[in-house]
């Protein structure tokens, strides 16, 4: 079964939360990493978890909508899995409450990996190497979807990114780590009267996850006739106020994870800053925190410089 291993968080991140029923071991992380890159988890053996979460693209795919089996295009942008270990809800609409739940969902989704859990189990049961590795991690017994999910989640908990120029400046005491422009951008970012970014993209004196973990309607993805093209969190809760609301993404490595928003509709960080400056897009459920901003060209350039300073050192 193996001895649990500690996952060391880099500068700027809090201790990694570990579920009591799935403590990572060296073998479980190795098995999860192997599964993460295995296209045999998909119905046509062409798509792996890494297809949409490519480490060369900061664990995203660089597409507005992710590409699944049969060249199907999903309706939402693939978020990075960097630091997903800290989230209490996953997916843009929060439909998974743990990394384990998240890991199994794309496998069975017909627009993503398109393979039933039952077929996945049968395929991997036929591979002696995998049977041996699952037994090493979980003990004797059949391969199950629960074991597949736990292994992938154990690997994903090690996919961390911190120790960015911002972290070295804010938490490491290195006052030269950020440019003057980025320092000015940080001041704007944290000023609740000028910009209010920090209300949703949170940080504190010790750590910065840059997300409140909540769901907000920004007006992104409004159609030509002013209608919401994606109901977001409402699809899970059926609460009227949740229409068009999506989980706040972390801003860590944001300079490396374009395009932006749940639908990938904004191509650059400048586009994102401009979108917020305009107060988002008006609709009945627009979050009360979204307001027009009065920013100069220099202010906007400084905000972008700050966001670029959040590019950390990957720890996988």
**Across 64-68, 126-130, 161-165, 288-292, least confident range:** 288-292
Q: Which residues pair with 162 in a beta bridge?
A: 313
CA distances from residue 18 to 33, 150, 228 in whole angstroms, order as listed: 17, 12, 37
Q: CA-CA distance, 37 to 55, in Å (whole number)?
A: 10
Q: Would you list the DSSP string of 49-102?
A: HHHHSBGGGTTB-S-SS-B-GGG-B-SS-----TTGGG-SSBSTT--BSSHHHH
pLDDT confidence bin for 316, thresholds 50/70/90: low
Radius of gyration of the chain (CA): 20
Which tokens in the block code for residue 242?
A: 């949740």
Query: Alpha-carbon torsion 128, 131, 137, 140, what sign?
Result: negative
Check: CB of residue 41 under 8 Å from CB of residue 225.
no
62: Cβ contacts below 8 Å, ≥ 6 apart: 54, 258, 259
Residue 95 or residue 193, greater confidence = 95
At 60 the pLDDT is: 97
Closest CA to 280 of 307, 302, 261: 261
Q: How far apart are CA 158 and CA 152, in angstroms?
A: 10
**Which entry of 8, 100, 112, 205 is annotated as an active-site residue?**
112
pLDDT per residue as tens digits for the range 33-63: 999 999 999 999 999 999 999 999 999 999 9
pTM recorded for the entire structure: 0.96
Helix-strand-coil split of the chain, %, nearest 5: 40, 10, 55
CATH 1.10.760.10 residue spans of the chain: 26-160, 163-315
Taking a C-beta distance cutoff of 8 angstroms, is the pair 80, 159 a contact? no
The pLDDT confidence band at residue 1, using thresholds 50, 70 and 90, is: low
Place of tokens 């403590």: 23
The CATH number of domain 163-315 is 1.10.760.10 = yes
pLDDT, tens digit, 9 for 90 and up, residues 183-201: 999 999 999 888 989 999 9
**Residue 314 corresponds to which tokens in the numbers above?**
């990957």
Instruction: Say if domain 26-160 classifies as CATH 1.10.760.10.
Output: yes
112 is catalytic: yes
pLDDT score of 167 more than 90: yes
Give the largest Cα separation in the chain, rounded. 64
């Amino acid at each position: 079964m193996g001895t649990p291993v500690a996952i060391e968080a880099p500068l700027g991140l809090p201790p990694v939360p570990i579920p009591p029923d799935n403590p990572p071991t060296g073998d479980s992380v190795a098995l999860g990493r192997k599964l993460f890159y295995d296209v045999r988890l998909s119905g046509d053996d062409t798509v792996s978890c890494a297809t949409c979460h490519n480490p060369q693209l900061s664990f995203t795919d660089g597409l507005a909508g992710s590409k699944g089996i049969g060249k199907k295009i999903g309706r939402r942008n693939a978020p990075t899995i960097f630091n997903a270990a800290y989230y209490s809800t996953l997916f843009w609409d929060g439909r998974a409450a743990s990394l384990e739940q998240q890991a199994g969902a794309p496998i069975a989704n017909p627009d993503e990996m398109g393979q039933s859990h039952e077929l996945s189990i049968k395929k991997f049961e036929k591979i002696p190497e995998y049977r041996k590795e699952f037994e090493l991690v979980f003990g004797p017994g059949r391969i199950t979807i629960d074991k597949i999910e736990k292994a992938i989640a154990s690997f994903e908990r090690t996919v961390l990114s911190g120790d960015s120029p911002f972290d070295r400046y804010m938490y490491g005491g290195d006052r030269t780590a950020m440019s003057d422009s980025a320092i000015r951008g940080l001041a704007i970012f944290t000023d609740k009267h000028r910009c209010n970014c920090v209300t949703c993209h949170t940080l504190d004196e010790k750590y910065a996850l840059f997300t409140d973990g909540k769901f907000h309607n920004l007006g992104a993805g409004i159609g030509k006739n002013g209608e919401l093209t994606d109901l977001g969190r409402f699809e899970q809760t059926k609460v009227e106020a949740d229409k068009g609301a999506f989980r706040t993404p972390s801003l860590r490595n944001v300079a490396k994870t374009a395009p932006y928003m749940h639908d990938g509709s904004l191509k650059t960080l400048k586009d994102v800053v401009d979108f917020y400056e305009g107060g988002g897009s008006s609709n009945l459920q627009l979050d009360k925190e979204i307001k027009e901003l009065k920013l100069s060209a220099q202010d906007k350039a400084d905000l972008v410089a700050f966001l670029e300073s959040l590019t950390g050192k990957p720890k996988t």
